Amino acid sequence: MPSAAISNSIPILKTSRTIMRCATANDLDESAAMWANEEVVRRITGNPFTRAESWGRLLRYIGHWQIMGFGYWVVEDRATGEYLGEVGIAENLRDISPSLDGIPEAGWVLAPRAQGRGLATETVKAAINWFDENQKYGKIYCIIDPAHQASIRVAEKAVFREKCRIEYMGEPAIIMERDGSADNTIV
């Protein structure tokens, strides 16, 4: 489990239906189950994650906060404490063209039981609003499979617009861009 100093440095965000908090070792089973689900990863990586890969992802979330001052939250149901997924912003340093180095990337993944309820939109907006208030990057990107219409709708509701289409890891992808200016504040 992370030390109190680590978890205390990661803000807790609350939406009307969720709590977004620091990842801990206790999240491994739920996270590993989500990332092992073929339906969840079909339009993200295409390949289910092993338990060890999910563990590495949780550790990366915590480390990203320590190095960058922003990162991913674990999302839980506010009423029940049920694990719902992971949402956040990271600098992934992907080997793509155009390069996104130095520009944060938003991402979100929800367990199947949490999908289709507007929770992705709710939590992505909360993450971006926090980011806009606390970081000074100006732009945020997200990379989405063009066939993943639900994620494209989430991105559009969070004021992302298509920048370009690329090939990433042998598959088509859309780079969507969000300008963090005041006129793009989301509610």
Count of domains observed in the chain: 1
CA distances from 146 to 18, 142, 174, 178, 183 (A): 28, 12, 6, 17, 27
**pTM reported for the whole predicted model:** 0.90
Per the structure, the complete domain to which residue 98 belongs is given by: 4-184
Instruction: Mark the ranges of the chain whose per-residue pLDDT is less than 70.
Output: 1-8, 181-187
pLDDT, one tens digit per residue, over 103-137 is 999 999 999 999 999 999 999 999 999 999 998 88
Best CA proximity match to 136, nearest among 180, 106, 92: 180
CATH at 117:
3.40.630.30
